[in-house]
Amino acid sequence: MAEKEARELYQEMSTVDHEILALLEKRAKLSKAVAGRSAYVPAESASHLSDLRARAKGDLPERHLERIFGEIFASGQSMERPLRIAVGGPAQGPLYGATERAFGASRALVLAEDPITEVEHDRADLAVLPLESLERGIEPRTVHRMFTSELRILRVIDADEAIHLGAQRPLAELEILLAGPEERDRCLSWVRDRDLRLDVVLVASPKEAIRRALENPKSGAFAAPEELRRVGLAVIAENTVKGSLDRLRYVVLGARPAARTGFDASVIAFTLADSPGALFDALRPFSDKGINLLRIHSLPSLHIAGDYLFFVELEGHSTDRPVVSAIDEVRRTVKTFKILGSYALTRGRT
C-alpha cells in the first residue's frame, strides 16, 4: 500500500515538473521579448525575491527558494541583455565563486586587475570587489577605490567561506584528496590533525577538484558545500579548513544607482576637519533622526598623513527623506563627503 502511494506521489510530482517546465519556457519567451528594452537593475530582482519569500508557505526551504529563483532570474536576464561582470582575483577563487552563485552560473565573468576601470571604460556593466571579512576586517583598497570613482554600490553579497569534503564514497574508502591553491595548505592541517594517510593533491581550482572526484570514486574534493551538493557529491566532512567559517562580504558596483526596495542600507564615506568632537558632530544627525548605523570603519588616508577616511553603513535608502535630511547636515560638518550607494538588505543578515 505504501509503495503504491509513493508511486502515485512521484507521478504527481512528474506532472508538476511538466507544468514548471511549461511556465519556465513561457518566462523565457517573455525575457526574449524584453531583449534590448531594459537594463539590469539588481534592486528590482532583490525586491521581487523579497516578495516571493513573503508569499512562500514554508514547504520549500528559503535558501533553496533563493537559489532556484536566482538561477531563473540570471537565465532570464542573460536573454534580455548579456551582462558583463568584471571581478578581481583568480578564476574559480572565492570572489569568483561568490559572484557566480549570486548572479547565476550562466553568467560570463571577466577577470580584471581593476574591475572598476572595466566598468568606467564601458568594458563591463558591473564590478565585484571584496569589501569585508570577519577575519581580516574591511578591505582598504576597495573603500579608497570607491571613494575616487563615480560608480555606485548596487548590491552587497554575503558569503560564508565554508569548505567541506565531498566524495562518492565514505572517507575510509578514499585514496586521494583534491584541493585548489587557496585551500590546499589549510586542508593539509585538517588531514594531519586526524592522522589520515591520504595525499592532498593540488589542482587548478575547487571546480577541477570536483570534476576529478566525479571521475574517480576513490577521490574526494575540498570545495564549498553548495558546489558539492549541486553536482551530487555527498558531504562526508564539514568545515575542513581552519577559519573556514569566515564571513565574507563583496560589493557590486555599477553606473546606475539602485532603486528603493523598502528594506535598504546606504553607504557613505567622509573625512573630518581636525577639531575636537568632529566625529561626534558628523554622526549626530543620524541619531537625531532615528537612523540606525550598521557599521563604522576608519581607514588611514592614502594621500594625507594623519588623516582618516570614515566608511559608514546605515539603514535606509539614500533617497529616503530622513536619510536625505541627515546627509545634508553631515555634509556641512565634514571636510569631504561622498554617497557610495545603496543596496537591498537581506532579511536576517545585516
Please write the tens of the pLDDT for every residue from 262-294: 899 999 999 998 889 999 999 999 999 999 999
pLDDT for 244: 47
Handedness of CA 128, 132, 135, 140 (dihedral sign): positive
pLDDT for 168: 95
CATH number at residue 286: 3.30.70.260
Write the pLDDT tens digit of every residue in 45-73.
Answer: 666 777 888 888 888 888 788 778 877 88
In a domain? residue 68:
yes
pTM over 0.75: no
Q: How many structural domains compose the chain?
A: 4
Angle CA 54–72–116, to nearest 5: 100
250 with 129, same domain? yes
157 with 98, same domain? yes
In a domain? residue 350:
no
156 with 168, same domain? no
In a domain? residue 324:
yes
Which pairing describes strands 152-160 and 126-133: parallel, antiparallel, or unpaired? unpaired
Question: Which whole-number Å values give the CA distances from 102 to 73, 107, 109, 279, in the listed order?
Answer: 10, 10, 12, 36
42 with 56, same domain? yes
Nearest to 311 by CA among 245, 258, 251, 246: 251
- Residue 210 in contact with residue 223, Cβ under 8 Å? yes
Query: Cell numbers at residue 320, please?
Result: 529616503
Angle CA 103–71–11, to nearest 5: 170
In a domain? residue 349:
no
C-alpha 191: how far from chain center: 29
228 with 279, same domain? no
Which pairing describes strands 137-138 and 126-133: parallel, antiparallel, or unpaired? antiparallel
- Residue 338 in contact with residue 268, Cβ under 8 Å? yes
Phi, psi (rounded to 5 degrees) for 206: -60, -35
- Residue 245 in contact with residue 161, Cβ under 8 Å? yes
190 with 222, same domain? yes
75: amino acid identity, one letter: S
Cβ neighbors of 193 (< 8 A, separation 6 or more) are none
Give the chain's residues under pLDDT 70: 1, 35-47, 78, 81, 89-93, 105-107, 160-161, 241-246, 347-350
pLDDT for 171: 93
Q: What's the domain range around 174?
A: 164-237
